Homo-oligomer: A and B are copies of this chain.
Amino acid sequence: MNYDLDLVPERTLKPREAGLTMVMDKGLSVREIEDLLTTSSDYMDIVKFGWATSFVTPNIQDKIKVYKDAGIPVYFGGTLFEAFTVRGQFEDYLRVLDKFGLEHAEVSDGSITLPHDEKCEYISRLAKHVKVLSEVGSKDAEKIFAPYKWIEMMQAELDAGAWKVIGEAREGGNIGLYRSSGEVRQGLVDEIIHAISPENIIWEAPQKGQQVYFVKLVGSNVNLGNIAPNELIPLETIRLGLRGDTFSTF
């Protein structure tokens, strides 16, 4: 840090299992990534190429390399898994992971209907090759699951071999864990947090109010995801109680 300030909460160090930040890259250039690394590499644990953006991104091998050289793993959003699976191309999907040398993959069913035991089978199969992030929650505002259902699914997916389970929010933060206004479904979160160890969950929390909520509830070292690149420095100050919103928290 640039100067000494007393009583700042301690952050875990990389490689982190708790307190990790998953960054949403939805189309950065190589130079933008290099720039980002100069300011925020200590605060980036893993990068997601959002949904199926990897399909249309021309400089993808270079992008992956720049992140990897900085020690930051990359994975492709769950929608890509769904796009392959719904087309009966799961074997092709495995080849894609291999071709790009990815060590993580996401399994989700936000846009498709997948019996839960099948989803868990995919998790098991993938877990033999890579670390699996499995996402719970629909991208459809009409599909609302009861808290006990979230917990059952999360637990089953961890049992099937998922490295972390992710609570769905989308890039906008207005679905799944949240109401369409972005407001946290607090009852849901409370239930989850009493059943599943926080270290095993990554909460998608793109909006500032959502990040503040989870830092206050779980602490500085909560796992957060779908963080926009230009919000990494701000998020770190929220974690450390150095922004107005969490100033009195620590």
Interface centre among A36, A208, A247 (most CB of B within 10 A): A247
Looking at the complex, which of A14-22, A52-60, A151-159 is the stretch in contact with chain B?
A: A52-60
Q: How far is the CB of A117 from chain B (nearest CB, A)?
A: 22
A83 partner residues in chain B, CB cutoff 8 A: 5, 242, 247
| Oligomer: number of copies | 3
Cα-based distance from A6 to B29 in the complex (angstroms): 27
Which of the segments A121-129, A191-199, A214-222, A233-241 contacts the partner chain?
A: A233-241
Q: In the complex, how many residues of chain A place their beta carbon closer than 8 angstroms to a beta carbon of chain B? A: 65
Binds B, one of A67-75, A84-92, A181-189: A84-92
Rounded to whole angstroms, the CA-CA distance of A50 and B236 in the bound complex is 13
Is A51 interfacial (CB 8 A cutoff)? yes
- Asked if A3 and B247 make an inter-chain contact with CB atoms under 8 angstroms apart, the answer reads no
B39 touches A31 (CB 8 A): no
> How long is the Cα–Cα vector from A56 to B8 in the complex, in angstroms?
12
CB distance from A111 to the nearest CB of B (A): 4
Contacts of A233 in B (CB 8 A): 26-27, 53, 56-57
Most chain B Cβ neighbours within 10 Å, of A34, A38, A82, A242: A242
Q: Mark A24-53, 1 if CB is under 8 A from B, else 0.
A: 001111111011101110110000001111
- Give the chain B neighbours of A243 by CB distance below 8 A: 51-52, 79
* A2–B57 touching, CB < 8 Å: yes
Residue on B nearest A56 in the bound complex, by CB: B236
Contact A39 B28, beta carbon cutoff 8 Å? yes
Within 8 Å by CB of A27, from B3, B34, B87, B234, lies B234
Q: Does A139 lie at the interface of the complex (its beta carbon under 8 Å from any beta carbon of B)?
A: yes
Q: How far is the CA of A81 from the CA of B240 in the complex (A)?
A: 15
Check B87–A58 contact: CB distance below 8 A: no
Other A-B pairs beyond A27-B39, A52-B242, A79-B243, 14, CB < 8 Å: A2-B60, A5-B84, A6-B87, A26-B230, A27-B232, A29-B36, A38-B59, A50-B234, A56-B237, A56-B242, A83-B242, A139-B245, A170-B244, A172-B208
List 28 A-B pairs, Cβ < 8 Å.
A1-B55, A1-B56, A3-B95, A3-B99, A6-B87, A8-B55, A26-B230, A27-B230, A27-B233, A28-B39, A29-B35, A29-B36, A29-B39, A30-B38, A31-B38, A32-B35, A38-B58, A51-B237, A52-B242, A53-B237, A55-B242, A57-B233, A79-B247, A80-B242, A83-B247, A111-B248, A139-B244, A170-B244
